[in-house]
Amino acid sequence: MRTHYDALIIGAGIVGAACASELAQAGLHVAVVEQEIVGGGTTAAGMGHIVVMDGSLPELVLTSYSQQLWAELLAERPADHEHLACGTLWVAADAEELAEAQAKQARYSAHGIASRLVAAAELYALEPLLRPGLAGGLLVPSDSVIYPPRSAALLIERARNHGAQVISAAVCALRPSGVLLADGQTLTAEAVILAGGIRSQALAPELPLRAKQGHLAITERYPHIIRQQLVELGYIKSAHASSGDSVAFNVQPRPTGQLLIGSSRQFDRSERSVDQAMLAQMLRRAVEYMPALAQLTVIRAWTGLRPATPDGLPLIGPAWQRPGVWLATGHEGLGITTALGTAKLLAAQLLGHSAPIPAAPYLPARFDKETAHG
Amino acid sequence: MAKVNVVINGRPISVAAGSSVAAALALAGVTATRRSITGAARAPVCGIGVCYECRVTINGQAHRLSCQVACAEGMQVVTDAAL
């Protein structure tokens, strides 16, 4: 086995897999080191919602650019990714949220993203099971759904087809120009790319990451009872809050006819076990918006850890004070969507090409206390 | 012996009171309960509510475990495998 690579990627989640695919296609000798299975961590725990989000301008730019990249990738073999072009219907409960839907529509429109305001009557025509009394919504047709572990495996397969190696091992430390594996072996590389989600912090304790745990539940198959991914507009208030526990109505149709029910946010919970009280609160929220859900059978519930940064944007680029180490982590709840854009940004920086979108908002150095402003 | 009348895939059948829906299905000669995601016909396996292979629609409610539900007068049972 070779022990020196152009690029050594730590973590074969969706972000590491996308980076491997991008760099291997660029002709680099790439290795991906994964301690468990491809796409088995936070990648497997998420919803796989390919969604444009506009919490901030950089978030909008990265998610919309990434969504275009997904459209190109999915066009090749959509069924293999379990792709469902269901769109997102943002649900407005009251006049205040309807005003937010209008503002959101204007922001999307300014960035060339098609969306359509939906009055109450059309809301119920689209989704008859929503509770009465809602104000309307915003339909975003270009959003869609994939099955992230499958997509991660397909990206790894593409990387392998371009010569990348996948090494089954645990990295226990970063070394100058390489990594130390748990079995004592050292691998060296021109560039080490840390793409380990929340676990990246175990190797680089200075990273400003915090685990934001989420719960999801999946039902039996009930085909066609919802058509769009349904998300309450109140989600925006709860999603990026930097403290406190919260839940939001967020229900997704799967290609199998199952429904994926979310969502929750809890800081600093170290256990991966299901918190029954939080699960109950999340399901109650879902039933408030869609009472018929109470009649369905949930077959499984689980949790995952979103790697959150203080400003809600990922860390993409050179690590500060660690020459040769690059970061591709901190994607919070948007890592599936933004994996492809992340890989393009990282590759452009590594190879000295011009970046497809401005790289500055995601540069890790913004958190370097030695040089950061204010 | 007391009897109850149920309807399985539109066909009435009379079974002993206390029979499970799975038992009624067997008496009616309905061997398949549901279809897997790939379309394969499936049938009850464990009879104790663990394998979930015996799921049928009972009175309009999908995914009921037929081995765990007792027949009741007038009950409407539909198997996915019949659809």
Got the DSSP string for A205-248? TTS--EEEEEEEEEEEE-TTS--SEEEETTHHHHHT-SSS-EEE
Confidence check: pLDDT of A65 > 70:
yes
User: Of A252-256, A315-319, B35-39, B54-58, which range is least confident?
Assistant: B35-39
Supply the DSSP symbol for A84. Answer: B
Residue A1 scores a pLDDT above 80 = no
pLDDT at A237: 64
- Per-residue pLDDT tens digits for A211-268: 999 999 999 999 999 999 999 998 766 655 656 899 999 999 999 999 999 999 999 8
Closest-approach residue (CA) in chain A for B60: A295
- Among the residue ranges A31-40, A114-123, A231-240, A298-307, the one predicted with the least confidence is A231-240
Running DSSP on this structure, what letter comes out for residue A295?
A: G
Average pLDDT, chain A: 95
A200-211: per-residue pLDDT in tens?
A: 999 999 999 999
The predicted structure's pLDDT at residue A372:
54
Q: pLDDT > 90: what percent of chain A?
A: 92
A374 pLDDT higher than 50: no
CATH 3.50.50.60, applies to A4-45+148-208+311-367: yes
Q: Where in chain A is the domain with CATH 3.50.50.60?
A: 4-45+148-208+311-367
Distance, in Å, from the CA atom of A77 to the CA atom of A71, rounded to the nearest integer, reads: 11
Residue A315's contacts (CB-CB under 8 Å, 6 or more residues apart) are A207, A309, A327, A328, A329, A330, A362, A364, A367
Rounded to an integer, the average pLDDT of A339-363 is 97
C-alpha Rg value of chain A to the nearest Å: 20
Distance CA A166, CA A47 (A): 25
- Closest CA of chain A from B37, distance in Å: 7
Residue pair A320/A365 in contact by the 8 Å Cβ criterion: yes
Q: Summarize the confidence of residues A290-319 as an average pLDDT.
A: 96
E strands present in chain A: 4-10, 30-34, 49-50, 88-92, 116-119, 136-140, 144-145, 165-168, 171-175, 178-181, 186-194, 210-221, 229-232, 246-253, 258-267, 298-308, 315-318, 325-329
CATH code of A88-141+210-308, in short, is 3.30.9.10
Residue of chain A whose Cα is closest to the Cα of B55: A220
Strands A186-194, A4-10: pairing is: parallel
Q: Where in chain A is the domain with CATH 3.30.9.10?
A: 88-141+210-308
CB contact under 8 A, B63 and A297: yes
Q: Is B61 in CB contact (< 8 Å) with chain A?
A: yes
Return d(Cα B21, Cα B27) in angstroms, integer: 10
* Cβ atoms of residues A95 and A135 within 8 Å: yes
List of chain B residues whose C-beta atoms are within 8 Å of the C-beta of residue A292: none
Whether A83 and A76 have beta carbons less than 8 Å apart is answered as no
Q: Give the CA-trace dihedral at A340, A58, A262, B55, to 10 degrees.
A: -30
In tens, the pLDDT along B37-50 reads 889 999 999 999 99
Contact flag B62-A256 (C-beta cutoff 8 Å)? no
So where are chain B's domains?
A: 3-82
Query: How confident is the model over A10-27, as a mean pLDDT?
Result: 98
DSSP H or E run through B75 = none
B63 touches chain A (CB under 8 A): yes
Look at residue B4 and tell me whether its pLDDT is greater than 80. yes
Chain B interface includes A186 (CB < 8 A): no
User: What is the value of pTM for the model shown?
Assistant: 0.92
Give A353's DSSP letter.
P
Residue A110: band (very low, low, confident or very high) from pLDDT cuts 50, 70, 90: very high
A52 in the Ramachandran plot: left (φ > 0), alpha (ψ -120 to 50) or beta? Answer: beta
ipTM of model: 0.75
Give the pLDDT confidence of A117-167 residue by residue, as tens digits. Answer: 999 999 999 999 999 999 999 999 999 999 999 999 999 999 999 999 999
Give the 3-state secondary structure percentages of chain A, helix then strand then coil, rounded to 5. Answer: 35, 30, 35
Q: Which CATH architecture has domain B3-82?
A: Roll (3.10)
Could you tell me what percentage of chain B is helix, strand and coil, using 3-state DSSP and rounding each to the nearest 5?
10, 35, 50
DSSP character at residue A113:
-
